[in-house]
Amino acid sequence: MRPGNAPSNAWAATVQKTQRRHDAVDPVCLKVFEEKISGKLATDDRPALLEALSYLRDGNKLTVQEVDRLGRNLLEGLIVLNDLFQRGVGVKVLEGIAAGEHTERPLILDLALAEDRRRDIVRKTKNGLEAARKRGRVGGRRPVVDDGKRAAILARRQRGESIRTIAAGVKVSIGVVHKTLTDAQLAVAAAEDIPR
């Protein structure tokens, strides 16, 4: 094979994604294997992936969009990677935490594990926020300005006090005073626009 050219395994769910991936891999690949089925299937149930894996020889390079495209889960992807490295096949990852060229197990294993941990944290965070929403709780910081402070800020401004004086007196930042006043002005403007 010519230097810099390598077989590629490209996956696609839509025409738009297919074109984007072809734009990325066509200039550097001799052969593109395209798959339009779910990456959630076992490796044995993915004919295009199996064809690509059997096509590769020692010294070849497999180019993939992301490491997780090689298997339905981290373990299966690592098994595929291990097999490729044992056969002397390099792997070029275009996106994600493992982006770059890899020819040995340790680095890509660390990167794949880090990617899996990151995804697990994201998944758990989303699940926790969803569970909190179902219980009527909203994630995030509690508001700094309660109804009492809001009323005090608006009353002091009505009396002509400066924003700096209001902030010191109510014990909030100048930014909080600005935001409270702006929100109040927007609420008044919105109320005036409502036809009666």
Give residue 144's pLDDT. Answer: 81
Q: Where exactly are the structural domains of the chain? A: 6-129, 147-193
Which pLDDT does position 2 carry in this prediction? 35
pLDDT score, position 5: 47
Q: Note the pLDDT of residue 97.
A: 66
CB 43 within 8 A of CB 66: no
Query: Tell me, what's the pLDDT at 167?
Result: 94
Please state which architecture CATH assigns to domain 6-129: 3-Layer(aba) Sandwich (3.40)
SS (H, E, C) 65-126: CCHHHHCCCHHHHHHHHHHHHHCCCEEEECCCCCCEEECCHHHHHHHHHHHHHHHHHHHHHH
- Alpha carbon distance 90, 58 (integer Å): 9
What pLDDT tens digit does each residue of the chain (196 aa) get?
Answer: 333 445 544 433 334 466 766 676 666 677 777 776 665 667 667 777 788 888 888 888 888 777 777 777 777 777 888 888 888 888 887 777 667 777 776 666 776 677 778 788 989 989 988 888 888 887 677 778 899 999 999 999 999 999 999 999 999 999 999 999 999 998 888 877 766 5
Per-residue pLDDT at 156: 95
